[in-house]
Structure 1
Amino acid sequence: MADRKTLTHARQAETAKPEAKPYTLSAGDGLFLKVMPTGTKKWMWRYFYLKKAKSLSMGLYPAVGLGEAKTARDDAKKILARGEDPSQRRKDQKAASLLAHENTFKAIAKEWLARQTDKAESTRTKSEWLLSFPIADFGQRPIQDVTPIMVLNTCRKYEKQGKLETAKRIKVKCSQVFRYAVATGRADHDPTRDLNGALQPPQVKHRAAITDPAQIGPLLRDIDNYSGTLQVRSALQLAPLVFVRPGELRSVPWTDIDLDAAEWRFTPPKTRNQTQVELIVPLSRQAVTILRDLHHLTGKHEHVFHSYGKDRHLSESAVLNGLRKMGYPGDVMTGHGFRAMAKTVMLEILKMPDQYIELQLGHKIRDPNGRAYNRAKFLEDRKEMMQVWADYLDDLKADVKVIPIRSSN
């Protein structure tokens, strides 16, 4: 296919007519216009790379004019002069552009969420909810193109509504997605690092808890007289006896409970990544009685507190609503408050050893040599502690005057 003539001005490209076979019009220095029988006209550039003849498209005419085609040719010649292949450079740029299109913030956030299988379901649901806000604002953007101001604008929507904790958590979740993208080679940095101090810090709110023995007794009596479902009443009865985290109690499977050994063994989802250590909850006689009674109703199901909802166990709202119906609003008592109740009373009134209490709460504590205690440590002592605590609660419930005593341990 020989060149017919040299193009010197744009008019020649415009008037070039299609023929039965393709032909070319030279624009000089390897650049030519290829005219196809269909009437399509495209700019091409011939060059040699490593002694091999190659060609590179410079665009279609008339979208790309003669002057623009020459500029594109000159840019490609500069790349060639640096020892690079212009064709390969273009392929790499297209691949990078396609990769950026695929690696949007939304796509990587979904990928990160899918990998959070070691987290409690409630934690995964909360993460998904928090990430839905930035996904709505800039989810379709390539993650490399997301800037600090984009994240800040999303967070400030909720900051303006006074939802300071939500704004803070959105930023934290975004940071986790960005750091995952960096670790997997799809981002260079975490832009949220530039937002330190840009948001108003939320005020720390402690979860409400009843810790006065004079008020604990009436609460326990109200729980025993609760007129709701057996599952909710049993959960509320067990909460002060085992004082685990509310989500751990609501979702406990029967397979983790050994009624004969009077033990509940599980790995807390909240600390699973940090410790990988099983928590042993000694069950008092009172706790075993509650569980045996409940087993008649839910023993054939997976969860102790079986429910027909999505999670197949009691929801957080079910337990909280139980407290509300009994007249204990959120600023008076919460599901988490049973942990504070146990810690305060056991430590300050019953004078039980702090390390036993902390181990039973599932906290990571260290021995005098700085090593983390095995959570099976002091198990026999903790079994006695849990029984003393359950008996003390019975006395409070019976309105017996309890004289604070030190545990024999």
Structure 2
Amino acid sequence: MKRSYILLLLAGTLSLSACSKFLEEDPNNAIPAEKAITDAGTARAAITGVYDGLQGYYAANYPTLGTITADNVVFNGTLSQYLQLDQNAIPTDNVTTVAAYQGIYKTINSANSVITYVPGITDPLLTQAEKEKILGEAYFARALGYFDLARGWGGVQLQLKPTTNINDAKGIKRSTLDQTYDQVLADLTEAEKLLPEDATTRNRAQKSTARALRARLHLYRKQWAEAEQYASLVISNTAKYELVPYKSFFTAPFLSRESVFELTFSANDRNTYWNLWYPSSSGGQYTLKPSNALVAKLNNPAVGGTRNSLIAGTGSNVYGVLYNTSATSTDPAYLIRLAELYLIRAEARAQQNKLTGAEGAIADLDAVRARAGVPASTAVTKEEILLAIEEENSVEFAFEAHRWFDLIRTERAGVVLGLTNKNYWLFPLPYSDVLSDPDLEGKNNPGY
């Protein structure tokens, strides 16, 4: 999925007669989306571009924002952009936050083009079923984009039409966090209607993918019954999903039954995120390093169990190996795993005081623990169970984009990280965006 923002994807199909129009001022290296997305081939190319956008910000930038900012991962390099994240002292021009923020909006814009122009295609080669599938994927991608913006930056500008020039974005003020999450829900509702449910596909959106993200959305909004309901819809799909031995989900071949949604890479479309985790002796930069506290947990049989396979090395040179295909750079980007759905349901049930029994929080928590080869939880009270779920999330998703966002949504960042100034629980909007957009002027997040 090489990066493309609806460039001249079908140049070979243009008529040679177009040469006679060489005096026209249309650009010769790109064409407008309304002219580019016109048939089955261009519709397929456009949705591929949307997935490419997701790859762009999930290959490294967004997972880094969810890890080094918390307590499982520490800075071990030389680049200031990562040191700033590690110290939670993030300027408005931090390279990683800016790249993630702008990359998400590029993906949303690509999805907007698909949503706007695909319905008008009348190509007989594009069946109604395929058209609905493409549209459903675009709605899901836009929902994911706005969800990721909301949990990182708060309420944002909701751009729902393709932006082809700066004037298209004029007059769009920042929405509230609730309004942004409302848009995510609307898009996920539409995506679930349109998407198919394939028995094997895990690297493209499906009905179950939309349901899984909706479960996460409801958890963030503290809508416990709905979070439980949608997590259960995915967990109950036993024909497609099951918890697998821990190490097997991140060793080749990928796309295990544990995976609900991931982004796959290839030798021609590489994910080099391993480079930030591996030591120089293995060809990496070793910028992101497991904290000593996390290493102790992973090596504790009663806490980490088989999850100690997440790390390698000894002494002061322990490093993370979730992203491990250094020879080929084909690690997937892990977005949703079944273990998350179990822990979402566990938390939602605990919040509803459903603590024990076959449909209680402990049962779901212990399902994840048993898969990792650790003993059943000894938590008893609601408060103990919620803390146990928090700890399980921390270890289970140690190097995935969870820990920081979990501590922010539960308002535990002050206690756990010592970050008591809530202004810094959100990332800053890019200085360049605030400076150039009159609708954002003076509207950065408090504290920046």
- Under a length normalisation based on structure 1, what TM-score does the superposition of the two structures give? 0.31
Identify the structure with the greater strand proportion. 1
Greater C-alpha radius of gyration: 1
- Under a length normalisation based on structure 2, what TM-score does the superposition of the two structures give? 0.29
